Amino acid sequence: MALASLLRRTISSSSNWIVVVGGAQRRGWCSAAAAAPPPHALSLSLSLSLSLSPPRFLPYSNFSSSSAAVPTTSTRPTSDANLLNVINSEVKYALESDDHHRVEETPTGFPFEIIDKPGEHTISLTRKYQDEVIKVEVHMTSLVTGNHEGGGDDDEEDSSKGGNPSIPLAVSVVKGNGQFLEFGVTAYADEIAIESLSVKDSNASQDDIPYEGPDFGSLDENLQRAFHKYLEIRGIKPSTTNFLHEYMINKDSREYLVWLKNLKKFIEK
């Protein structure tokens, strides 16, 4: 209580002094009544003045650190430059090859129409045979290594094909009722191997999982020979597949060159 009373008296005395001094300054005169305040009043008045003064802030300075600076230009990494050099070498090698611009002449009596769309991995063949439509999807040439473990006649047969290029074919024989036969064929030089055979229906639901038949090699040999003859009559024979082999080699060279050029454009951006 005594401390509170002292503070009130001090604040009152200081306030009177401030008013008198302020009044004297406004009137341009000074009276004896505006004597110097007691020390404790001056100290408390200064403290109150500081506490009531608004805070002062340093002016905003737009500073930046050199470590946070964003570069205005970018430099290509060394690895990208090295990659471009390698790609350029590959492009030059591909251009020197004769395969990318060589066009195979269609042999006389070739029964199919060729549909070759640039940029695609496959080509399509189509023809009509009596009341059937024969469709063939030809994939890029692959290389068979013939490195199989085990023994037996089948392994000896595979070894005889080792290193020989082959062409995977999907052959469809379509009739008007929606049903068709689909053959999985691998064409070697002067030889055609049927890998699979299934009966399908274009009207069937995609959710259905039809039975695709047994392994073709397990069928009776007479039945296997009859199906080989069936395909041969419809144009799937060595003279056809040998031409397709050369055609697909050239297509692969063309597509590879285009792929390299597109790759180079992307890296250079």
Q: Give residue 127's region: left, alpha or beta (phi > 0; psi -120 to 50).
A: beta
Q: 3-state DSSP call for residue 115? A: strand
Structure confidence at residue 171 as a pLDDT band (50, 70, 90): very high
Structure confidence at residue 94 as a pLDDT band (50, 70, 90): confident
Q: What is the pTM of this model?
A: 0.62
DSSP 67: G
> What pLDDT digit, counting tens, does each position of 59-75 carry?
554 544 444 555 445 67
Structure confidence at residue 48 as a pLDDT band (50, 70, 90): very low
Q: How far is 86 from 108, CA to CA, in rounded Å?
A: 42
Q: What is the dihedral of CA 116, 118, 122, 126, to 10 degrees?
A: -20
Whether 212 has a pLDDT exceeding 60, the answer reads yes
Contact 165, 142 (CB under 8 A): yes
Compute the average pLDDT of residues 145-173: 65
Q: How far is 192 from 236, CA to CA, in rounded Å?
A: 8
The residue with greater pLDDT, 261 or 156, is 261
Q: What is the pLDDT of residue 142?
A: 72
Whether 96 has a pLDDT exceeding 50, the answer reads yes
